[in-house]
């Protein structure tokens, strides 16, 4: 007993001081080598600006508990250097603080500096000012571009060096990345692509980081850059020399969602299968992209058309709650991998076929270390395989892990983690009736030009070059004087307005009245509208409000894709040629305004004397600002706003933008949504979809730390028309917990290693309420098969324990108190 206690104290000391000393990180053909030791590592992506700093410690803790060794993040250039030469590392841009917290949790960091990050992040992370610099060409061997990139990378490295955050300084950063998935687009950049990549590698290695660098999706990465793989599966990948370890920098745990499309998800069994296959076939580092996806606050979402939610169906959900069973199932996988680590780092795997679509891989040394992986690659047929004299059940599309080459401790298709369902609960609920937000005040945004900063150009201008993304909005305004005898005024002239747009969305007004609207979608950003219009004698004005919805972040030359209106015509048989082009560059005057009146008046902050509250709250009217105040829901549950009843716009809480909302953008009801998707077989982002016929996103996250107990300002700019009285404040709650344990349940991973490989132990299941405020209200379903165990409700408040032999299903309804 005595000696055990001191051992524990010693271990704790080691754990808490692990990052005070320099750590030497290198690599060989097998693995990353940390202080001379090869490691099998598990990593997950968490992007610091996609949550609040107050959420970081909990996200990191849940990552550590989930079995991660490393947290991976991009560095977002346009977050840190909004104006050229002015750097911001405050608030959710406090990268040094984020890295320190990861280090304090005893974890490592993989820093992907980019500076191109893709990430479904606005403009792929590039600041817009970069686009405006003379003779600038992005992501190629261009002197201006290279100079700016080098300056930014040096700034980041210098800043983090100053905080001693690299492993060689005793910090947690063990790996760095330069560029990002350039190999995917390289051929479009011609011969200057390779010289650019070689330059990027040289520039990176010249930086004082003393940790290995990776280039993902870059098969021609020059030494010493480690080329790595991103995808749904990367088991077939091999690095470009046998001196580099096999690393999976992005195992897509789900997929992002786009406005107007159904929401993708990926079954836990298949994520686990992909990771296990990678470790089976010589892989030694898997990073889940994303482990926590989070939220695209403000205008940070890219795309175009990436939603404000960046949940990604990740193991930790957008709100910071564990997504079960995904989180737990992967945690179990990580334990199984760690039990196999000693054998795995000692040697390469030997893979042999043990039947059709069946593979066994053995990591075995002469000194008695042995770990094995058995895979069934068939997408239909379960199998029973013989391996070293024993017989094993192997479900279709699964991998079993045998850390001692005998006992299966984990199979990717057998989920033994608890499952939860979460829901949004309306707040506050007073005496059984749902309180709605009331006491709205409002301001009607003028249609067309209203600011003294408007300007005239001949013809239709590209949008992004003009707005430089200072606003989503660009007004295009055209006036024409019609004499009383103009043919377009004749009865039966059937005049139509035709507008072409490169993207992303548009409202068309004639003489102040909405006549039509249009929007693109992620699969085709551009669109056209053609709507009947009526003119009047004298002055007529066509006002087109063109909107960007997140700037493009992917593809060759994505930075020059452009947006806004590129065609405008009047069509009528009364016209000489049947059509009149309003885009003749040298003749047609168009007037422009960047942004809207409310920006100028700082309405989003809540404070302005333009707000009115009489006589009657306008509903379903275009371009209307609304404001109210609300109290924070009691408790610590994550908070969201339900924008049911609203169309499209943006919302601010206490002056900070929670992002764009677009509740009226509904996913196609004909898309192939499936409630329960078969994990077996090749996954793709279109395979498992939900929300068909529903808004792509209805709920919008408000971080708890943004809220005061009472008197929080909510400001909404509604573009197309909505009813703000339908908006409600909700909290995200875990409603049900459920667990299934099968007869063929692998041995429990929680047991001490020595025991569990040699003894048969009855599995024990513990279900706990996620919050101390919850009680178990109902045991929804229990099935013991032929029970040998006992059922004991030990603690009404929190815990139910079961022991069983066959299988048990439990669903518990939890009620709020
Ligand atoms: C780091 O480790 C590598 C090999 O593992 C070794 O060659 C090198 O000398 C070490 N560097 C330091 C500073 O200890
Ligand atoms: C694993 O690495 C060893 C040694 O390079 C090689 O012989 C073997 O084919 C590799 N296995 C796979 C599946 O690539
Ligand atoms: C709720 O109901 C109780 C009892 O009927 C009443 O005293 C209380 O004022 C009600 N609260 C609200 C906010 O309506
Ligand atoms: C309603 O809103 C107005 C303007 O924001 C404010 O002055 C007033 O106190 C509010 N009334 C109530 C009952 O909250
Ligand atoms: C334009 O309007 C702004 C805000 O109303 C005002 O501060 C500014 O002085 C005006 N500028 C000119 C040139 O009129
Ligand atoms: C969008 O652009 C594509 C490619 O340039 C073109 O083929 C298509 O016709 C355009 N669609 C609309 C609606 O303008
Ligand atoms: C027509 O109306 C627009 C917008 O109200 C205005 O800017 C323009 O000066 C007017 N033109 C004439 C000829 O009245
Ligand atoms: C934007 O401006 C740049 C020059 O500053 C020009 O090269 C580019 O073609 C413009 N983009 C579009 C889409 O017009
Ligand atoms: C009609 O079309 C012809 C040929 O495109 C053009 O030369 C002429 O200017 C057009 N007339 C009008 C009134 O737009
Ligand atoms: C769904 O398909 C039907 C039949 O093909 C079609 O009539 C309908 O417009 C489609 N609905 C949507 C929302 O695309
Ligand atoms: C299952 O495997 C077969 C044969 O390899 C293949 O043709 C089929 O497309 C696969 N189905 C799925 C859903 O992956």
Mean pLDDT of the region 481-496:
94
pLDDT digits (tens, 9 = 90+) for 320-376: 999 999 999 999 999 999 999 999 999 999 999 999 999 999 999 999 999 999 999
What pLDDT does 583 receive?
Answer: 94
**Domain residue limits, the chain:** 39-323, 421-445+601-662+697-733, 455-595, 735-816
The candidate with the shortest Cα–Cα distance to 671, out of 690, 697, 698, is 690
List C-alpha distances in Å: 355 to 154, 235, 276, 359, 405.
53, 19, 19, 7, 18
User: Is the per-residue pLDDT at 749 higher than 60?
Assistant: no
Q: Which atom of ligand 10 is nearest to the CA of 668?
A: 13
What pLDDT does 752 receive?
Answer: 39
User: Is the per-residue pLDDT at 759 higher than 70?
Assistant: no
Dihedral pair phi/psi, residue 91, rounded to 5°: 55, -130
Identify the nearest ligand to the CA of 580 by its number: 9
Kindly state the percentage of the chain with pLDDT values over 70.
87
Structure tokens at 715: 């400001």
HSE at residue 18, side-chain half, CA atoms within 13 A, is 19
If you take atom 1 of ligand 8, which residue's CA is the nearest one? Answer: 465
Q: How many CB atoms lie within 10 A of CB 647?
A: 19
Kindly state the percentage of the chain with pLDDT values over 90.
79
Architecture of domain 455-595: Sandwich (2.60)
Distance CA 408, CA 747 (A): 7
Show Cβ contacts of residue 382 under 8 Å, excluding neighbours closer than 6 positions. 376, 393, 394, 395, 396
The candidate with the shortest Cα–Cα distance to 419, out of 330, 327, 324, is 324
609 CA → ligand 3 middle, Å: 36
Structure tokens at 659: 């992002």
Residue of 452, 595, 600 to test ligand 5 pocket, by largest number of atoms within 8 Å of CB: 452
Please name every residue paired with 532 in a beta bridge, in sequence order, or none if there are none.
496
Asked if residue 669 has its Cβ within 6 Å of ligand 10, the reply is yes
Please name every residue paired with 226 in a beta bridge, in sequence order, or none if there are none.
214
Asked if residue 539 has its Cβ within 6 Å of ligand 7, the reply is yes
pLDDT digits (tens, 9 = 90+) for 518-536: 999 998 999 999 999 999 9
Distance CA 272, CA 279 (A): 11
431 CA → ligand 3 middle, Å: 6
* Alpha-helix runs per DSSP H in 619-701: none
The candidate with the shortest Cα–Cα distance to 447, out of 365, 514, 390, is 514
Structure tokens at 781: 């379903």
Asked if residue 33 has its Cβ within 6 Å of ligand 1, the reply is yes
| 43 CB-contact burial (10 Å; exposed 0-12 / middle 13-18 / buried 19+) | buried
Cα pseudo-dihedral 751, 753, 756, 759, rounded to 10: -130
Residue 239 CA, chain-centre distance (Å), reads 27
**Contact (CB, 8 A) for 68 and 251:** no
Structure tokens at 38: 């090869």
What's the mean per-residue pLDDT of the chain? Answer: 89
Distance CA 215, CA 228 (A): 6
User: Is the per-residue pLDDT at 256 higher than 50?
Assistant: yes
Rg over alpha carbons for the chain, rounded to the nearest Å, is: 29
Per-residue confidence band for 655, with pLDDT thresholds at 50, 70 and 90 = very high
Identify the nearest ligand to the CA of 138 by its number: 8
Distance CA 165, CA 366 (A): 39
User: Is the per-residue pLDDT at 490 higher than 60?
Assistant: yes
Domain 39-323 CATH superfamily: Glycosidases (3.20.20.80)
User: Where in the sequence numbering do the catalytic residues fall?
Assistant: 181, 250
Domain 421-445+601-662+697-733 CATH superfamily: Galactose-binding domain-like (2.60.120.260)
If you take atom 11 of ligand 7, which residue's CA is the nearest one? Answer: 539
pTM: predicted TM-score of the whole model, two decimal places = 0.90
pLDDT digits (tens, 9 = 90+) for 51-108: 999 999 999 999 999 999 999 999 999 999 999 999 999 999 999 999 999 999 999 9
What pLDDT does 767 receive?
Answer: 63
If you take atom 9 of ligand 8, which residue's CA is the nearest one? Answer: 560
User: Is the per-residue pLDDT at 803 higher than 60?
Assistant: no
15 CA → ligand 1 middle, Å: 23
Q: Which atom of ligand 3 is nearest to the CA of 430?
A: 13
Dihedral pair phi/psi, residue 259, rounded to 5°: -55, 130
206-215, 697-706, 739-748: least confidently modelled range = 739-748
104-118, 264-278, 406-420: least confidently modelled range = 406-420
List C-alpha distances in Å: 379 to 54, 99, 540.
43, 41, 64
List C-alpha distances in Å: 107 to 65, 94, 95, 213, 331.
11, 18, 15, 18, 15
Distance CA 236, CA 239 (A): 10
Asked if residue 672 has its Cβ within 6 Å of ligand 10, the reply is no
**Contact (CB, 8 A) for 239 and 227:** yes
Distance CA 546, CA 464 (A): 11
603 CA → ligand 5 middle, Å: 16
Structure tokens at 793: 């409700």
Distance CA 760, CA 751 (A): 11
Helix (H, G, I), strand (E, B) or coil at 681: coil
Pairing mode of beta strands 496-501, 527-532: antiparallel
The candidate with the shortest Cα–Cα distance to 408, out of 219, 567, 294, 276, is 276
The candidate with the shortest Cα–Cα distance to 659, out of 359, 419, 310, 321, is 310
Asked if residue 36 has its Cβ within 6 Å of ligand 1, the reply is yes
Identical fold, 421-445+601-662+697-733 and 455-595: yes
Helix (H, G, I), strand (E, B) or coil at 121: strand
* Alpha-helix runs per DSSP H in 117-187: 128-132, 143-162
């Amino acid at each position: 007993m005595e000696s055990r206690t001191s051992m524990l104290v010693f271990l704790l000391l080691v754990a808490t001081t692990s990052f005070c000393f320099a750590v030497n990180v290198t690599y060989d053909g097998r693995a990353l080598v940390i202080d001379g030791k090869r490691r099998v590592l598990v990593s997950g992506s968490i992007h610091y600006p996609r949550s609040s700093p107050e959420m970081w410690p909990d996200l990191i803790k849940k990552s550590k508990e989930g079995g991660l060794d490393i947290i991976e993040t991009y560095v977002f250039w346009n977050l840190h250097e909004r104006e050229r030469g002015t750097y911001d590392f405050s608030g959710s841009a406090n990268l040094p603080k984020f890295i320190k917290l990861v280090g304090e949790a005893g974890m490592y960091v993989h820093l992907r500096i980019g500076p191109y990050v893709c990430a479904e992040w606005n403009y792929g992370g590039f600041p817009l000012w970069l686009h405006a610099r003379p003779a600038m060409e992005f992501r190629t061997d261009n002197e201006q571009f290279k100079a700016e990139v080098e300056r930014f990378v040096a700034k980041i490295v210098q800043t983090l060096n100053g905080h001693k955050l690299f492993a060689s300084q005793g910090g947690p950063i063990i790996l760095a990345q330069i560029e990002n998935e350039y190999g995917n687009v390289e051929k479009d950049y011609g011969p200057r692509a390779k010289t650019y990549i070689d330059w990027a590698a040289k520039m990176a290695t010249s930086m004082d980081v003393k940790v290995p660098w990776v280039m993902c999706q870059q098969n021609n990465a020059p030494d010493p850059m480690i080329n790595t793989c991103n995808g749904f599966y990367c088991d077939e990948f091999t690095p470009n020399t046998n001196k580099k370890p096999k690393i999976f920098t992005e195992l897509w745990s789900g997929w992002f969602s786009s406005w107007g499309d159904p929401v993708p998800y990926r079954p836990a069994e298949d994520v686990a299968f992909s990771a296990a296959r990678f470790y089976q076939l010589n892989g030694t580092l898997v990073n889940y992209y994303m482990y926590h996806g989070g939220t695209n606050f403000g205008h940070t979402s890219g795309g175009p058309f990436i939603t404000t939610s960046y949940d990604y169906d990740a193991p930790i959900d957008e709100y910071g709650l564990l997504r079960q069973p995904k989180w737990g199932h992967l945690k179990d996988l990580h334990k199984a991998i760690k039990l196999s680590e000693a054998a795995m780092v000692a040697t390469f795997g030997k893979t042999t076929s043990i039947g059709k679509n069946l593979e066994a891989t053995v990591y075995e040394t002469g000194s008695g270390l042995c770990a094995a992986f058995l895979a069934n690659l068939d997408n239909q047929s379960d199998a029973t395989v013989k391996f070293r004299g024993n017989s094993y059940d192997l479900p279709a599309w699964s991998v079993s892990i045998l850390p001692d080459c005998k006992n299966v401790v984990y199979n990717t298709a057998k989920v033994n983690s608890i499952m939860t369902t979460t829901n949004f609960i309306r707040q506050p609920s007073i005496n059984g009736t749902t309180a709605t937000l009331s006491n709205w005040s409002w301001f009607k945004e003028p249609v067309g030009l209203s600011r003294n900063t408007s300007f005239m150009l001949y013809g239709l201008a590209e949008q992004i070059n003009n707005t430089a993304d200072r606003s989503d909005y660009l007004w295009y305004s055209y006036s024409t004087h019609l004499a009383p005898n103009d043919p377009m005024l004749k009865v039966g002239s059937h005049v139509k307005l035709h507008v072409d747009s490169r993207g992303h969305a548009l409202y068309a007004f004639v003489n102040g009245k909405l006549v039509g609207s249009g929007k693109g979608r992620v699969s085709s950003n551009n669109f056209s509208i053609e709507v009947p219009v009526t003119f009047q004698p004298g002055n007529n004005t066509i006002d087109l409000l063109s909107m960007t919805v997140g700037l493009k972040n992917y593809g060759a030359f994505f930075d020059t894709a452009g947006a806004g209106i590129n065609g405008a015509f009047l069509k009528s048989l009364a016209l000489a040629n049947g059509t009149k082009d309003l885009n003749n560059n040298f003749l047609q005057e168009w007037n422009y305004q960047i942004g809207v009146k409310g920006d100028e008046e700082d309405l989003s902050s809540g404070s302005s004397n333009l707000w009115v509250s009489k006589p009657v709250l306008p509903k379903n009217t275009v371009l209307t600002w609304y404001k109210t105040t609300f109290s924070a829901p009691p408790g610590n549950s994550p908070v969201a706003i339900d924008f049911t009843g609203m169309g499209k716009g943006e919302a601010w809480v206490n002056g900070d933008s929670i992002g764009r909302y677009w509740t009226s953008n509904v996913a196609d009801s004909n898309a192939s949504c499936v409630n329960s998707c078969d994990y077996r077989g090749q996954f793709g982002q279109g395979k498992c979809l939900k929300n068909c016929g529903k808004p792509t996103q209805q709920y919008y996250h408000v971080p708890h730390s943004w809220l005061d107990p009472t008197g929080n300002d909510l400001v909404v700019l509604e573009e197309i028309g909505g009813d703000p009285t339908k908006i409600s404040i909700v909290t995200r709650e875990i409603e049900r917990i459920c667990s299934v344990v099968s007869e063929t349940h692998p041995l429990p991973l929680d047991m001490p290693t020595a025991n569990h490989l040699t003894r048969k132990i009855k599995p024990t299941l513990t279900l706990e309420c996620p919050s101390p405020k919850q009680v178990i209200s109902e045991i929804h379903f229990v099935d013991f098969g032929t029970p040998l165990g006992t059922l004991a409700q030990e603690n009404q408040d929190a815990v139910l324990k079961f022991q069983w032999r066959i299988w048990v299903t439990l669903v518990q309804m939890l009620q709020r108190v």
